[in-house]
Amino acid sequence: MTSGGDSPGMNAAIRSMVKVSAARGVRVMGVIDGYDGLIDGVFRELTAFSPGSPMGLAAATEVDLLGNEGGTLLGSARCARFREKEWRTRAAGNLRGIDGLLVVGGNGSLTGAHLLAQECATLVVGIPASIDNDIGCTGMALGVDTALNTIVESCDRITDTARSHKRVFVIEVMGRQSGYLAMASAVAAGADGVLLREQGRSEETIVDSVAAMIRAGITSDRARRRILIIKAEGVEVPCTRLVRLVQERLVTDMPTLEIRGTVLGHLVRGGRPSYQDRMIAGRLSLAAVDALLEGVTDTMLAWMAPVPGGTPTSDPAVSRFSLARVLEETDALLDGTSVVTRWRLQTLNALEGALGL
């Protein structure tokens, strides 16, 4: 099952999971449209009878064909009904006779998986998938690398026109609660500044810092023909308002300066998954199948875990964490108490003076 916001690599995870399972003689069903499909009992066959295969099963043709595509062939949704016990009981009833459930999704999806694991007999295992990279206990979630590649390419294209016309661009990227995409892409794209929710700045402070950044870049000895500032979606000042306020702040001494805002929005979610997302999807899926066949439940597979306490697997880059621990660390990641969030902010502070050099 894929659930919550889609991310590039979900189809690659489905393909890998189905192929590995089929090679071991395990039949796989797909749940349509996340927890909504689980509640309504909407499943589809993902394996096919194949007399030429050693175990008599193979991946269905569509699974193979769409494995390289973005989005999710199973569909996805955010399901408010699943928060209520009566609907989870109905979902659990639809899982009777099914040995294990693999949930591919983000924080809300893994929260649902944790609840389900405690309330039904079916084994439940999760794989982290979120372009925001806002899931605890994993160094990378599915979709992050592809999203970053999309952002960096977009910034490079905008830089071409910004240099041609000596303009300032404020580019907003996704990340309501986590500024990871903004931070990582700012470094990769050579941006002059980055704005994150985690910095906790007021609107006035943000406008002051952006205006100062622009003045420094344009009036320095090496006056730049482009100024690029990347803003996370979670920063409460909307992109268009920020552009207007900064323009008003600079109109007296820089009357001809043009500041443009660009919101990349859902463009960042789309596209075929990168090599790294496909590779991570494959290795996490293999470990997920192993976990289910070993009888493990209420667990998430993590990639290059940045925190201790995971259970090793046969893959040195993959470890298992209880979903309770994952959700606890996710909360800490988002409220700023996690050592991972603190490290990110310390790194950003160290880079802040260097980004515009």
DSSP state of 92: H
d(CA 220, CA 214): 10
Beta strands in the chain (DSSP E): 29-31, 43-45, 47-49, 57-59, 100-105, 123-128, 167-173, 193-195, 226-232, 259-263, 299-303, 311-312, 318-322
User: Among all residues, which ones are annotated catalytic?
Assistant: 132
Instruction: Count other Cβ atoms within 10 Å, centred on residue 167.
Output: 17
Are the beta carbons of 81 and 36 closer than 8 angstroms?
Answer: yes
Question: Helical H runs in 122-228?
Answer: 144-165, 180-189, 203-219
DSSP state of 267: G
DSSP element (H, E) containing 191: none
DSSP element (H, E) containing 16: helix 10-23
